[in-house]
Structure 1
Amino acid sequence: MTGPSAHPGRQVFHEHRRLLFSVAYRLLGSAADAEDAVQDAWIKWSAADRSQVADPKAYLTRIVSNLALERLRSTRRRRETYVGPWLPEPILTGPDASESVTDAESVSMAMLVVLETLSPLERAVFVLKEVFDFSHAEIAEAVERSEAAVRQAAHRAREHVRARRPRFTADRSRQREVTERFLAAVAGGDVNALMELLSPDVTLWTDGGGKVRQALRPVVGAATVAAWFAAIGTVTYQGVDPADMRAGPAEINGGPGLVFGAPGRVIATLTFDFDAEGRITAVHNVANPDKLRAVADGTAHDVRTR
C-alpha cells in the first residue's frame, strides 16, 4: 500500500488492518496465510459499495473471517499429509501482547495447536466469540450460518478447548526466568540444570516439515528431552557448526521464547508451556524453514484484540 490517502477507502482499511491480521492469524495459525487473507480483504473492500456500509469494522472483520475460513478448509487437506508434527507458524509479538492474559493466551502456540483440532467452523466461531467477543448474531452473519448453528458450534468448541487446554497461571516473570535458565543450560550442555526446569512428563514437539532433520514423533519425559537439548552444542545442525550457532530470548506468540540462528538465517524457534509452579510441560520447536520467515523478517506483530 502506498499510503492511506491514495484511495478513498484506504484510510478506513488501514485503521482496522491490525485487527484483521489478529483475527486471520488466530484462524489460520500462519502469518503468511493471514497476510494473504488481509490482502484479499483489501481487494474486496476496494471493490465494495462502501456507501452501504454502516459499520466498516464489522464489515471488514466479516470479510476477513470468511476468507480465512475458505483458506482454512483448503489448507486442512494439505496438513493431513504433513511430515511429522504440524505446529503453527511462529510470530514475534510486542510486549503489549503479554499485557492482556486473554491476548497472550489466545495467540500462544499451545492454544493454536488446540484450535487446529477444531473443525474450521468451530475454530472461527470460538475465535470470534471467546477472543474477540462478537455476539452470536454477528458471528452468524460473518460465517453465513444460522444463529442456532453458531451457538451449537460455540458450545462444542468451548468444551473441546477446555478439555485440552488446562489454564496455568505461572506468572510472566517466572516464565521469563525459566526461559533464560533453559537457554543457559542448553548453552552449557547441562543435563542436570535442564532436568530441574522440566516437568517429569514434559513433551517436546518438533516441526521440521520434512525439510530438516527433526524428531517425527513427540519426545516425552524429562530425561529424554534434557538429553536432546544438551546435545545441541555438540553436533553440527543443518550444516551449522555449534560454534556458529547463536540463541537469544524473544517475545514469541505472546510469551517468552528463544530464537536459534546462524549467520544470515533463523534456524529454529522454541516456545514453552508451563505448569502452575513454572516448570516446563511442553516445548514447541519450529525448524521448518518455510515457517520461520515471519520471525526472520524481524517484525513484531501487534495481536491485541481490542
Structure 2
Amino acid sequence: MIWNLGSINIDNFYEVPHLPAAGETLAARSFGFGLGGKGANMSVAAARAAARVAHIGAVGPDGRWTRDRLLEYGVDTPHIAEVQTPTGHANIVVDAAGENSIVLFQGANVKLTEAIIGQALTEASPRDYVLMQNETNGQEYCAATAQSLGLRVVYAAAPFDADAIARLLGRIDFLVLNEVEAAQLEAATGKTLDALGVEDVVVTLGAKGCKWVSNTGEKAFDAYPADAVDTTGAGDTFTGYLVAGLDRGMTTENAIDLALKAGALMVTRRGTADVIPDLKEIQDRFGI
C-alpha cells in the first residue's frame, strides 16, 4: 500500500509557439485544463501501475471535482480534506518542442494539519510506502510518523529546496530527484549522493535515462526512445510507477525499468494526470 502526502492542483494548459521571455506577451494556440499537481500525478501513476494508493491532501470547494477524478482513476480519497482555501493550481505553457514553463499557486496544498496526516497513517501497515513531494506542508511530521510506524519513506525532491531535504535526512529511505537537483543538493550539503545516508537515490536524466545510487554502487539505465510532444508530468509518472513497482515487490532494477517505460510513453501525450498511461498500455507498447 502507498500513502501519498501530495499536492492536488487544477492545471491550466496553454500551447505557445515558444516559451515567453521576460516582458513578452504571447497568444496561446490552445487552452485546456485538467487534474494535476505532483502529488495527484504520482497517485494516479501508482494506481495505474496496479498498486493500491491512498492520497493524503486538501482541496478547496472549487476543487471537489479533482477528488472525484482521483477516485475515478482508482485512488483512495477518504483522506483528502476540504478546506476554505482555493485549490492549488498551475498555469502551464508548453512550446512546440514539448518543453514547459509552470507558475504554481499552492493554495489548499499547504493547509494540511497533523490531524489529517496522522489519522490517515493510523490505517497503514509496516512496510507500506509513504510518498512525499515538496508541494505540501507537513512533510517532517509525516516522515517522522511513518518512520515510527515502520513504513518506508520515498521523497521526490521537487520543487527543489535543499533545506527541506536536509530536515528530512535520516528519515528518507528512497530519494528521487533530477540531474540539476542532484547537483544543487551536493553543492548545498557538501556531500556526494552516496554519502547522504539515504539507502537508495535515483537521479532522472531526461532523455538520457537515469542512474541509481545505493550502498552497492551506481548503475546507469538508458531511456527508451520516444517522440516527445510534452514533458509535463513525465517525472511524476516515473516516480509513481517506480514506487508502485517497489510496493508490488519488484526488484529496484525492474521497478526503474518499468518507470522508464511509463515515462517514455507519457512524453508522447499532452496533459498531466488525465493522460498517464496504465499498465496494460505499457505492456502492449513494450511487449511485456
Same fold per superposition (TM over 0.5): no
User: Which TM bucket (shorter chain)?
Assistant: under 0.3
Kindly indicate which of the two structures has a greater share of residues assigned to helix. 1
TM-score by length of 1: 0.27
- Decide which structure has the larger Cα Rg and report it: 1
Higher relative contact order (CA 8 A, sep 6+): 1
TM-score by length of 2: 0.28
